Amino acid sequence: MKRKTTFSAIGGYQPFMFCIGMYLAALFFSIFICSAVFYAINPKKTANRQADVTARSTSNRVLLTVAK
């Protein structure tokens, strides 16, 4: 009697799909980690320039009171 063996196509690809999925997840998270490190080392200059322009353009005195 000959034994009939059948293999599921998805079961054969499971390790391959797992590796691809883990690679894509690591790639996705590494983009955020690398961009966070990059912007921590090189901050954006636009926020500083805007604050300088605002400080220079106001020539009037501003009084600040803090109420308790």
pLDDT confidence tier of residue 37, bands split at 50, 70 and 90: very high
Residue 42 above 70 pLDDT?
Answer: yes
pLDDT confidence tier of residue 58, bands split at 50, 70 and 90: low
Report which DSSP code applies to 3: P
Residue 28 tokens read as 């996705």
Alpha helix segments (H runs only) across the chain? 9-41, 46-57
Tell me how far apart the alpha carbons of residues 23 and 46 are, in angstroms, rounded to a whole number.
35
Query: End-to-end CA distance of the chain, in Å?
Result: 94
